Amino acid sequence: MTSLSLFLFLLFGVWLIILTLILFWQYRKEQVVSRAASQGRLPQLINENQEALALLEQEIRRIRQAQQLFDQELKSSLRRVGLVRYNAFEDMGGDLSFSLALMDEWGNGFVFSCLNARSESRIYAKPLREGKSIYPLSKEEKEALSQARGVT
Protein backbone atom coordinates (compact mmCIF):
# COMPACT_ATOMS: atom_id res chain seq x y z
CA MET A 1 0.00 0.00 0.00
CA THR A 2 1.52 3.36 -1.01
CA SER A 3 1.68 6.32 1.31
CA LEU A 4 -0.98 8.13 -0.75
CA SER A 5 -3.34 5.17 -0.48
CA LEU A 6 -2.72 4.95 3.26
CA PHE A 7 -3.35 8.67 3.66
CA LEU A 8 -6.61 8.48 1.69
CA PHE A 9 -7.70 5.43 3.68
CA LEU A 10 -7.04 7.25 6.99
CA LEU A 11 -8.78 10.37 5.70
CA PHE A 12 -11.82 8.31 4.74
CA GLY A 13 -11.81 6.66 8.18
CA VAL A 14 -11.72 10.03 9.97
CA TRP A 15 -14.52 11.30 7.71
CA LEU A 16 -16.58 8.21 8.49
CA ILE A 17 -16.09 8.72 12.24
CA ILE A 18 -17.14 12.38 11.99
CA LEU A 19 -20.28 11.49 10.02
CA THR A 20 -21.13 8.75 12.53
CA LEU A 21 -20.83 11.19 15.44
CA ILE A 22 -23.03 13.75 13.68
CA LEU A 23 -25.63 11.12 12.91
CA PHE A 24 -25.57 9.86 16.51
CA TRP A 25 -25.97 13.43 17.84
CA GLN A 26 -28.96 14.05 15.56
CA TYR A 27 -30.49 10.72 16.62
CA ARG A 28 -30.15 11.65 20.31
CA LYS A 29 -31.83 15.01 19.70
CA GLU A 30 -34.68 13.28 17.88
CA GLN A 31 -35.09 10.84 20.77
CA VAL A 32 -35.45 13.68 23.28
CA VAL A 33 -38.11 15.40 21.16
CA SER A 34 -39.95 12.11 20.48
CA ARG A 35 -39.95 11.18 24.17
CA ALA A 36 -41.23 14.63 25.14
CA ALA A 37 -43.99 14.44 22.51
CA SER A 38 -45.09 10.97 23.63
CA GLN A 39 -45.23 12.09 27.27
CA GLY A 40 -47.13 15.28 26.40
CA ARG A 41 -44.18 17.46 27.44
CA LEU A 42 -43.47 18.98 24.03
CA PRO A 43 -44.87 22.45 24.94
CA GLN A 44 -42.76 22.39 28.12
CA LEU A 45 -39.64 21.45 26.13
CA ILE A 46 -40.32 24.26 23.67
CA ASN A 47 -40.76 26.75 26.54
CA GLU A 48 -37.51 25.59 28.16
CA ASN A 49 -35.69 26.06 24.86
CA GLN A 50 -37.21 29.53 24.41
CA GLU A 51 -36.13 30.52 27.93
CA ALA A 52 -32.61 29.24 27.25
CA LEU A 53 -32.55 31.17 23.99
CA ALA A 54 -33.68 34.37 25.77
CA LEU A 55 -30.86 33.94 28.31
CA LEU A 56 -28.36 33.47 25.50
CA GLU A 57 -29.62 36.63 23.77
CA GLN A 58 -29.19 38.59 27.03
CA GLU A 59 -25.66 37.23 27.39
CA ILE A 60 -24.84 38.20 23.80
CA ARG A 61 -26.07 41.77 24.47
CA ARG A 62 -23.95 41.93 27.63
CA ILE A 63 -20.88 40.68 25.76
CA ARG A 64 -21.41 43.23 22.97
CA GLN A 65 -21.61 46.05 25.51
CA ALA A 66 -18.41 44.84 27.17
CA GLN A 67 -16.73 44.63 23.77
CA GLN A 68 -17.67 48.24 23.03
CA LEU A 69 -16.09 49.32 26.34
CA PHE A 70 -12.94 47.34 25.53
CA ASP A 71 -12.79 48.93 22.08
CA GLN A 72 -12.91 52.41 23.65
CA GLU A 73 -10.21 51.48 26.17
CA LEU A 74 -8.03 50.05 23.42
CA LYS A 75 -8.28 53.24 21.39
CA SER A 76 -7.04 55.26 24.36
CA SER A 77 -4.11 52.95 25.12
CA LEU A 78 -0.60 53.87 24.02
CA ARG A 79 -0.29 51.29 21.26
CA ARG A 80 1.35 53.20 18.43
CA VAL A 81 5.08 52.98 18.94
CA GLY A 82 8.03 54.38 17.03
CA LEU A 83 11.68 53.95 18.03
CA VAL A 84 14.78 55.49 16.46
CA ARG A 85 18.28 54.76 17.73
CA TYR A 86 21.13 57.08 16.75
CA ASN A 87 24.44 58.64 17.76
CA ALA A 88 23.66 62.03 19.31
CA PHE A 89 27.33 63.01 19.51
CA GLU A 90 30.16 62.41 17.04
CA ASP A 91 32.51 60.94 19.66
CA MET A 92 29.97 58.24 20.67
CA GLY A 93 29.30 55.00 18.83
CA GLY A 94 26.83 52.17 19.18
CA ASP A 95 23.63 54.13 18.64
CA LEU A 96 23.11 54.57 22.39
CA SER A 97 20.79 57.56 22.07
CA PHE A 98 17.15 57.04 21.13
CA SER A 99 13.82 58.73 20.52
CA LEU A 100 10.66 56.85 21.43
CA ALA A 101 7.17 57.96 20.37
CA LEU A 102 4.11 56.49 22.15
CA MET A 103 0.63 57.45 20.94
CA ASP A 104 -2.98 56.36 21.26
CA GLU A 105 -5.51 56.06 18.40
CA TRP A 106 -5.98 59.84 18.23
CA GLY A 107 -2.29 60.76 18.28
CA ASN A 108 -2.13 61.74 21.96
CA GLY A 109 0.93 60.62 23.89
CA PHE A 110 4.61 61.42 24.35
CA VAL A 111 7.97 61.53 22.61
CA PHE A 112 10.86 60.52 24.86
CA SER A 113 14.43 61.23 23.84
CA CYS A 114 17.51 59.99 25.63
CA LEU A 115 20.81 61.57 24.62
CA ASN A 116 23.82 59.59 25.79
CA ALA A 117 27.27 61.18 26.04
CA ARG A 118 30.44 59.75 27.55
CA SER A 119 29.92 61.33 30.98
CA GLU A 120 26.16 61.89 31.16
CA SER A 121 22.75 61.05 29.79
CA ARG A 122 19.82 63.39 29.36
CA ILE A 123 16.20 62.41 28.97
CA TYR A 124 13.55 64.68 27.47
CA ALA A 125 9.80 64.15 27.27
CA LYS A 126 7.54 66.11 24.94
CA PRO A 127 3.76 65.73 25.07
CA LEU A 128 1.75 65.06 21.91
CA ARG A 129 -1.79 66.21 21.09
CA GLU A 130 -3.30 64.88 17.87
CA GLY A 131 0.16 63.86 16.69
CA LYS A 132 1.74 67.30 17.23
CA SER A 133 3.90 68.78 19.96
CA ILE A 134 3.98 72.36 21.15
CA TYR A 135 7.75 71.90 21.49
CA PRO A 136 10.09 71.72 18.50
CA LEU A 137 10.95 68.13 17.53
CA SER A 138 14.36 66.94 16.37
CA LYS A 139 14.82 65.00 13.13
CA GLU A 140 14.99 61.72 15.08
CA GLU A 141 11.88 62.56 17.12
CA LYS A 142 9.98 63.34 13.92
CA GLU A 143 11.14 60.00 12.48
CA ALA A 144 9.95 58.14 15.61
CA LEU A 145 6.63 59.98 15.34
CA SER A 146 6.28 58.94 11.69
CA GLN A 147 6.97 55.32 12.65
CA ALA A 148 4.31 55.50 15.35
CA ARG A 149 1.81 56.87 12.83
CA GLY A 150 2.66 54.00 10.53
CA VAL A 151 4.29 56.27 7.96
CA THR A 152 7.90 55.26 7.26
pTM for the full predicted model:
0.59
Please report, in angstroms and rounded to a whole number, the separation of the first and last CA atoms in the chain.
56
Beta strands in the chain (DSSP E): 80-86, 97-103, 109-116, 121-128
Where in the sequence is the domain holding 97, given as residue range(s)? 80-149
Do 101 and 145 meet the contact criterion of CB atoms below 8 Å apart? yes
Q: Do 33 and 91 fall into the same domain?
A: no
Q: Do 8 and 57 fall into the same domain?
A: yes
The total number of structural domains that make up the chain: 2
Q: Could you say which of 30, 51, 74 is where a domain stops?
A: 74
Q: Could you say which of 44, 74, 104 is where a domain stops?
A: 74
Do 127 and 106 meet the contact criterion of CB atoms below 8 Å apart? no
Taking only the tens of pLDDT, the chain with its 152 residues reads 688 888 888 999 999 999 999 999 999 988 888 888 788 877 888 888 899 999 999 999 999 999 999 988 888 888 899 999 998 887 777 788 999 999 998 999 999 999 988 888 899 999 999 989 999 999 999 999 999 998 75
Q: Could you say which of 15, 47, 74 is where a domain stops?
A: 74
